[in-house]
Structure 1
Amino acid sequence: MNSERTLEFHPGPWDGAAVDGPPVALPQGARRSARPSVELTLLDTFDRRLFRRGKICLVERAADGTARLALRAFATHRAGHCADWTSSGLPRFAWDVADPRLRSELEDCIDVRALLPQCRLRRISQPVLCFPEAIPEPLRIYRTRYALMPEHGRARALPERLAVCWSAPDEKLARQFIERLLERGLLTPTPDDIWREALSAAGRLPVADELTSRPELAPDQRADIALRQILGTLFNVMSANEAGIIGNIDTEFLHDFRVAIRRSRAALGQLKGVFPARSIARYTRDLAWLGEITGPARDLDVYLLNFAELQGLLPAPVRDELEPLRALLSRESAAAHAALVRCLASPRYLRFKSQWPEFLARPGPRRPAAPNALEAIGSLSARRIWTLYRRIARASGAVDADTPSEQIHALRKTCKKLRYLLEFVQPFHETEQIRRPIRDLKVLQDHLGAFQDAEVQMAYLRAWFARLRQDPRVSSQTLLALGMLFGRFEQIQAARRAEIPGALRHFARKDDRNRFKAMFKLAVAAAAGSAGRQRVLAQIAKKQGESS
């Protein structure tokens, strides 16, 4: 941890010319504390994970070529954790950082996302040689000039600042000195951290909200208008991630692109009768096609990201025998990515990208032909949520050790559709009210997903074994390691299967059923009229009385 502390202020209304005057009562060593020009690069992920967590990651490069990497909180006087950065370039991923503590802190914040330059500053600091107040010897004051360095064009000067610097043991003295200067008006507090100011000047604030997939909806909104909003927001997510997929910046671009596709398909598939079937048939096929063409590249991304975990399933002496598999996956990943990029440049995708947003931007017709177009989105979605919930609840008594894998996979897809609908209607409910059903559903999805993942892993392992067996360079030890890995996934799948009935019963328990009924069946009854509403209210009250 760097022990240096710094707080920056705007100069007060005193004679600024004195800053460059001759030294008066200059503290010993002040001349030696002059700081050369430094180039600072602020890094963050595409979705601004560091900024959203109140942190900044900096590469600070001095004129002599030396550099350090720092991670600290916004608007703090503490330097944060720093480490030497010996590369001439910038770190791209957390695992590029050699310092273990800094790497761990970055991984906690950004996971597998790439760090991208957000803005670049040049900082020139000169020691203040004259000041209206005597500067205690352990403290230093610098006149600091920042210039925003755009990728193209001329540098742009930012308002000058005064930096008060001290070491950790002098914290109390520094605080007292700063308070005295503020009282005298010799310093003026800055409204923003320099990096907020720089990001704003660079056009990087406020953080864009096109990455969210939850538009603001009202429960009484026309279903066709609300669905256009939902799908339009999801298309924006797809568009925002497209360049990152093509540039192969990090694997999360493709992940978020695919999630937006799945959500779009779920919205169209579950909220039926909102648009005329003929008008959306081609778009539905296009979305299904996009799901298919993005699948292989995403699967290979996941395997390469989790390769160390695959190795960890084997005894230590044989883990390195999987390296030929890593090489195969890397080659296949590159080929799958190239194929995907070609698809994203195809006439079919370009036509979809042009015509789908045009369709979504159309106003709702006064007399729509679709039967559910005029229904309130709240009641339409509630009716479908209640149907999906009951389908899952019925399965709680039907899934056992002999249930075919295909049925478990179908149940998993039903849970995913329910999850997407619940997230679409989140704005219609109080946060705590909707959070618990989503949380409970996530737990069930984790159990079903772990079973399905093991099933998929074994299918891939069979294919990889067949491929590698044809390669004379691959040793029998590697093939043996693949066989051992297959056996481990058989064990994992059996264990996960045994957990599913209990997870289903937990999700379908009486309290949760009553909660879903109150939130979603009641909404359907309310749309049908007050009589239905009163009847359902009475039923729920009776059920709750019995359970208590």
Structure 2
Amino acid sequence: MADTKREIERKYEATTDTTVPDLARVPGVARVLDAGTADLDAVYYDTPGLRLAAHSVTLRRRTGGADAGWHLKLPVSPGVRDEIAAPLGDDVPDDLAALVRARTRGDTLAPVVRLRSSRDVRHLVDDDGTLLAELSTDTVHAQRLTDGGATATWTEIEVELADGGDPALLDAVDKRLRKAGIRPAASPSKLARALAETGTPPPAPRPAEPDGTAGDHVLAYLRAQTDKLLAHDAGLRRGEPDALHDLRVTARRLRSALRGQRKVLDRAATDRVTRELRWLGRELGADRDREVLDARLRAALDTVPRTLQLGPVRGRLKRWSTAHSAGARGHLLEVLDSDRYLALLDRLDALLTDPPLRPAAAKSPKKVLAKAVRKDHARVAARIERALSLDPGPDRDAALHEARKAAKRARYGAELAAPALGRPARRLAGEMKALQRLLGDHQDSVVARRALRELAVQANGAGESSFTWGLLYAREEAEAAARERELPDVWARARGRGLPG
């Protein structure tokens, strides 16, 4: 994968007459050094419908300056982006194109804007000469490469934190600049401003916060989760440690919302999306479950005294793990590049663009969402009570697993409703999370015992001692029994958090 850095910066409005105040008076800054000027020439790429710009993603090919090359910038939070760089070349690098495939959906990436900038650079350094931040004053000439080739010119100031710097420095610089009458830029990026001033801008950002009706709340939640799905897609492709887990959980949240809000959204239109989210969850789940199981077995083996590790147990576990994880990453990327996955993303967009709202969507969110939360809670109660009525064994294990899935759905439903219902929903979500965690530990033990039995059989067949695997199996049985003993008390607390009415 290409090189990545975290970019933390602030942008400000300026004119050719703007005077930057003395920033050596900012706490922590000892000197401001003139770092010269640079002429930059950047061509920004996007789809015909500006899909990247609509998600605040920028892809450019830039010459001039110290970092000539291809740059892809992915938003993290306001003023914070991850910049992925690739060597200069004529065509969009395959690595960068893959990172935005969930957003481009197969549309062609082509030049849309050219920005030529004259950059005056100053370095803010401490007493030791260590770079704290870079301040640049850019005179920008923008040319639209589509829609008639309109142009625009402006000046702006940009302050970028040095790698590993303290973000509090940007606050101190901001205070100094504002005191001098310099105000934050209205546009989040040069590209956004260029598009707005030279022709048709990208589609307006979708509402981030719920407002008004039950339908507004549900759609705001679905939009937020869809945006997270796209972000985690890029994270998984980049190999981020928790991206697979996060992507899987986001797919579950979307599916749970569509299933749980059938009074708000017409299931005739959403059931296909729900089925496809289930498919995605299964495809992602196998590899994630192997990750969790492998970590659990390794951690368990680490607790066994060396004198009780009979036979080549670590080698056996390593070979078993390798066999079960072979080709896992390749499979994940195949899923993310598949037509089926991209079609699912298109369906989510279509659902949000033209939502299939039912009459209840126009009603008060407190009434509609509370009813859905109570229904989810009742489902958990029924499954817990059934599980507790069974004797310990495979049937109870299966029933507890079903209760876990119901608790997860109830948790997500309560989180969706929390902006409208407030503290009662947040507290219920917290109790459902605790219940889900306990039942998850129990299910992990069930799965671990299956794996330990398989390892024991393999070891025995190879003429190795199976003692250690049996020891770990017995420990997992004890862990599962302990979780079952804890369940009535945890459920009593969760049951008491049900919404009134």
Match for residue 10 of structure 1 among 11, 14, 23: 23
Q: Is the contact made by 1:389 and 1:418 (CA closer than 8 Å) also made in structure 2?
A: yes
Deviation at 1:451, TM superposition (A): 1.4
Match for residue 250 of structure 1 among 226, 231, 240: 240
Distance 1:379 1:202 in 2: 38
For residue 324 of structure 2, what is the aligned residue in structure 1?
Answer: 332
Match for residue 385 of structure 1 among 360, 365, 373: 373
Q: Is the contact made by 1:144 and 1:160 (CA closer than 8 Å) also made in structure 2?
A: no
Aligned ranges for residues 262-277 of structure 1 at < 5 Å? Answer: 262-277=252-267
Distance verdict in 2 for CA 1:315–1:202, change over 3 Å: farther
Match for residue 231 of structure 1 among 222, 239, 258: 222
Q: Is the contact made by 1:454 and 1:492 (CA closer than 8 Å) also made in structure 2?
A: yes
For residue 293 of structure 1, what is the aligned residue in structure 2?
Answer: 283
Distance verdict in 2 for CA 1:402–1:226, change over 3 Å: same
2:209 partner amino acid: E
Partner of 2:23: helix, strand, or coil? Answer: strand
Q: Is the contact made by 1:222 and 1:373 (CA closer than 8 Å) also made in structure 2?
A: yes
Q: Is the contact made by 2:213 and 2:365 (CA closer than 8 Å) also made in structure 1?
A: yes
Deviation at 1:507, TM superposition (A): 2.8
Deviation at 1:141, TM superposition (A): 7.9
Distance 2:340 2:128 in 1: 62
Q: Is the contact made by 1:267 and 1:421 (CA closer than 8 Å) also made in structure 2?
A: yes
For residue 459 of structure 1, what is the aligned residue in structure 2?
Answer: 450
1:492 partner amino acid: E
2:351 partner amino acid: F
2:247 partner amino acid: F
Aligned ranges for residues 352-501 of structure 1 at < 5 Å? Answer: 352-362=344-354, 370=358, 372-393=360-381, 399-400=388-389, 402=391, 404-430=396-422, 432-466=423-457, 472=462, 476-477=464-465, 479-501=466-488
- Cα distance per residue 1:187-222 (max 9 Å; x no partner): xx74479xxxxxx99979xxxxxxxxx95224x514
Identity %: 24
Distance 1:412 1:400 in 2: 16
1:381 partner amino acid: L
Distance 1:423 1:143 in 2: 45
Distance 1:501 1:491 in 2: 17
Q: Is the contact made by 1:147 and 1:157 (CA closer than 8 Å) also made in structure 2?
A: no
For residue 207 of structure 1, what is the aligned residue in structure 2?
Answer: none
Distance verdict in 2 for CA 1:387–1:276, change over 3 Å: closer
Match for residue 302 of structure 2 among 287, 290, 312: 312
- Cα distance per residue 1:515-541 (max 9 Å; x no partner): x21xxx2xxxxxxxxxxxxxxxxxxxx
Distance 2:339 2:416 in 1: 31
Distance 2:188 2:123 in 1: 16
Q: Is the contact made by 2:415 and 2:426 (CA closer than 8 Å) also made in structure 1?
A: no
Distance 1:348 1:467 in 2: 38
Gaps of 5+ in 2: 1-21, 35-73, 81-120, 137-155, 162-171, 177-184, 191-206
**What is the CA RMSD across the aligned residues, in angstroms?**
4.4
Q: Is the contact made by 1:304 and 1:326 (CA closer than 8 Å) also made in structure 2?
A: no
Distance verdict in 2 for CA 1:326–1:144, change over 3 Å: closer
Q: Is the contact made by 2:135 and 2:157 (CA closer than 8 Å) also made in structure 1?
A: yes
- Cα distance per residue 1:394-448 (max 9 Å; x no partner): 5666515616222212211111111001101111244x44443333333322322
1:11 partner amino acid: A
Deviation at 1:457, TM superposition (A): 1.5
Distance 1:202 1:467 in 2: 58
Q: Is the contact made by 1:145 and 1:159 (CA closer than 8 Å) also made in structure 2?
A: no
Distance 1:287 1:494 in 2: 33
Distance verdict in 2 for CA 1:467–1:276, change over 3 Å: farther
- Cα distance per residue 1:259-311 (max 9 Å; x no partner): 11111111111111433333223212211100110011101222344454222
Partner of 2:324: helix, strand, or coil? Answer: helix
For residue 168 of structure 2, what is the aligned residue in structure 1?
Answer: none
Distance verdict in 2 for CA 1:331–1:147, change over 3 Å: farther
Partner of 1:11: helix, strand, or coil? Answer: helix
Distance verdict in 2 for CA 1:395–1:143, change over 3 Å: closer
Deviation at 1:484, TM superposition (A): 1.9
Distance 1:160 1:395 in 2: 54
Match for residue 491 of structure 2 among 491, 494, 504: 504
Deviation at 1:351, TM superposition (A): 1.7
Query: Which structure is larger by alpha-carbon Rg, 1 or 2?
Result: 1
Distance verdict in 2 for CA 1:124–1:343, change over 3 Å: same
Aligned ranges for residues 43-442 of structure 1 at < 5 Å? Answer: 147=134, 190-191=173-174, 215-218=208-211, 220-223=212-215, 225-247=216-238, 249-318=239-308, 321-362=313-354, 370=358, 372-393=360-381, 399-400=388-389, 402=391, 404-430=396-422, 432-442=423-433
Q: Is the contact made by 1:241 and 1:254 (CA closer than 8 Å) also made in structure 2?
A: yes
1:402 partner amino acid: D
Distance 1:439 1:342 in 2: 36
Partner of 1:425: helix, strand, or coil? Answer: helix
Q: Is the contact made by 2:225 and 2:254 (CA closer than 8 Å) also made in structure 1?
A: yes
Q: Is the contact made by 2:401 and 2:443 (CA closer than 8 Å) also made in structure 1?
A: yes
Distance 2:401 2:174 in 1: 54
For residue 143 of structure 2, what is the aligned residue in structure 1?
Answer: none
Partner of 1:300: helix, strand, or coil? Answer: helix
Deviation at 1:359, TM superposition (A): 2.6
1:349 partner amino acid: Y
Which of the two has greater strand per residue? 2
Q: Is the contact made by 2:260 and 2:372 (CA closer than 8 Å) also made in structure 1?
A: yes
Query: How many equivalent pairs are there?
Result: 338
Partner of 2:327: helix, strand, or coil? Answer: helix
1:336 partner amino acid: A
Distance verdict in 2 for CA 1:47–1:456, change over 3 Å: farther
Deviation at 1:391, TM superposition (A): 4.0
Q: Is the contact made by 1:217 and 1:427 (CA closer than 8 Å) also made in structure 2?
A: yes
Distance 1:334 1:418 in 2: 35
Partner of 1:296: helix, strand, or coil? Answer: helix
